[in-house]
């Protein structure tokens, strides 16, 4: 009867505290902290009530060692650790969501936003993993046989410790590499990368791997240690704008002024050009042809790729239809 009354009283106290906190949050949330207090209360009300209920029950149970009292108190203690970890993890998720909601939803144009998104999520995941491990450790400590076994293994720390460290080396290396990638400012979510001849956009940066969406919609998943040990190209390291380049071989008799006028028309008529930069230059020559390079800037990597394809197609069609004599030719000299 006493235990039942304690449970009912703790449950009533949890309900009262939830109601009072709801009233206080609604009053305070009318001001400048509404964006934080409302999602925090909605997400954490159940784990907070569980912590309050289980904590009250644990502190009011008798400390007896006989009969059912000791195992019941042990079960309540384990439940208290689990509910506490649940509350902390929920609060971390709310903090991540609130941080994302305060950022401007523009992954391409704003490098600051992309850097913040890249750093917040790995930190939240690492913190959740630490909280989970700590909770599991606290639960195991409450069991005397497991606690004694763990102490004996830690004090002996021989071959078993070496094997555990060797087996966990890769996972731990990837985890620490994930934190290093997040804060080294080398890549961010939304950056355009070129890796082994393949270019794509960073979709997600995790603790152990980085997900990249390639230009043909394939997903390339690489371990985070790849970006700490091997070089890669980042086209949007300082800004999202990308300069696309195309090269065309034409005959030596081609009129560059005419080609420059056509290239200007194609660039200015394209909606993919960001109205910032374009140029046509002769960058090389061979005994048979000269190499014409056209450079034009676009807002991001995907737009630059499409702009390059459009310019290449338009210039080749212009040469074929209007000046076929400017296409590459092979000359020979007849000697009788």
Q: Work out the angle between the directed axes of helices 301-322 and 256-269 (0-180°, nearest 10).
A: 140
Q: Which two tokens stand for residue 123?
A: 């930190």
What pTM was estimated for this model as a whole?
Answer: 0.48
* 81-117: b (≥16 Cβ within 10 Å) or e: bbbbbbbbbbbbebbbeebeeeeeeebbebbebbbbb
- Which residues make Cβ contacts (< 8 Å) with residue 110, sequence separation at least 6? 104
> What are the phi and psi torsion angles at 252 (to 5°)?
-65, -25
Q: Which two tokens stand for residue 50?
A: 């569980």
Q: What confidence score (pLDDT) does residue 29 get?
A: 59
pLDDT at 76: 82
- End-to-end Cα spacing for the chain: 122
* Number of residues assigned to the chain: 336
pLDDT of 282 reads 93
Q: How far apart are CA 61 and CA 209, in angstroms?
A: 47
- DSSP assigned state of 300: S
Q: How would DSSP label each residue in 27-92?
A: HHTTTTTHHHHHHHHHHHHHHHHHHHHHHHHHHHS----STTHHHHHHHHHHHHHHHHHHHHHHHH
- H-helix or E-strand containing 127? helix 111-141
The per-residue pLDDT for 109 is 47
- Using CA atoms, how far apart are residues 299 and 317, in angstroms rounded to an integer? 26
In order along the chain (336 residues), what is the average pLDDT of each group of 10 residues?
68 74 66 68 80 77 63 82 89 81 58 67 78 78 65 41 45 64 76 83 82 85 85 74 87 92 93 90 90 89 84 94 89 63
Distance (Å, whole) CA 87 – CA 154: 30
Q: Please give the pLDDT value at position 77.
A: 84
Q: Which residue has the tokens 């784990």?
A: 47
Q: For residue 128, what are its two tokens?
A: 């959740």
Relative orientation angle of helices 169-183 and 159-167, to the nearest 10 degrees:
50
Q: Contact at 8 Å (CB) between 218 and 226?
A: no
Q: Return the pLDDT at 232.
A: 86
Q: In the prediction, which pLDDT does 332 show?
A: 64
**8-state DSSP, 271:** T
Q: How far apart are CA 215 and CA 269, in angstroms?
A: 24
Q: Which of 275, 254, 273 is nearest to 318 (CA)?
A: 254
3-class secondary structure, 290? strand
Residue 219's beta-bridge partner residues? 213
Cα angle value 230/233/238 (rounded, 5°): 125
């Amino acid at each position: 009867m006493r235990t039942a009354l304690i449970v009912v009283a703790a449950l009533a106290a949890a309900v009262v505290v939830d109601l009072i906190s709801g009233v206080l949050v609604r009053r305070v949330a009318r001001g400048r902290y509404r964006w934080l207090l409302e999602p925090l209360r909605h997400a954490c009300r159940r784990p907070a009530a569980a912590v309050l209920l289980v904590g009250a029950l644990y502190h009011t149970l008798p400390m007896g060692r006989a009969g059912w009292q000791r195992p019941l108190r042990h079960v309540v203690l384990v439940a208290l650790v689990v509910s506490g970890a649940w509350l902390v993890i929920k609060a971390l998720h709310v903090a991540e969501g609130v941080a994302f909601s305060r950022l401007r939803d523009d992954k391409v144009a704003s490098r600051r936003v992309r850097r913040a998104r890249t750093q917040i999520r790995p930190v939240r995941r690492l913190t959740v993993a630490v909280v989970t491990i700590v909770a599991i450790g606290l639960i195991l400590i409450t069991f005397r046989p497991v606690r004694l076994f763990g102490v004996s293994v830690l004090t002996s720390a021989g071959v078993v410790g070496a094997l555990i460290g060797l087996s966990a080396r890769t996972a731990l290396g990837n985890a620490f590499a994930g934190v290093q990638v997040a804060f080294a400012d080398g890549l961010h979510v939304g950056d355009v990368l070129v890796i082994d001849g393949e270019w794509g956009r960073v979709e997600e940066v995790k603790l152990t791997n980085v997900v990249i969406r390639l230009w043909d919609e394939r997903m390339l998943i690489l371990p985070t240690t790849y970006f700490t040990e091997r070089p890669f190209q980042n086209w949007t390291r300082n800004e999202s704008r990308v300069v696309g380049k195309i090269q065309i071989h034409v005959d030596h008799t081609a009129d560059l002024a005419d080609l420059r006028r056509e290239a200007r028309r194609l660039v200015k008529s394209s909606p993919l050009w960001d109205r910032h930069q374009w140029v046509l230059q002769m960058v090389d020559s061979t005994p048979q042809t000269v190499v014409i390079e056209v450079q034009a800037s676009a807002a991001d990597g995907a737009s630059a790729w499409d702009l390059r394809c459009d310019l290449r197609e338009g210039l080749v069609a212009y040469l074929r239809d209007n000046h076929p004599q400017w296409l590459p030719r092979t000359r020979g000299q007849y000697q009788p």
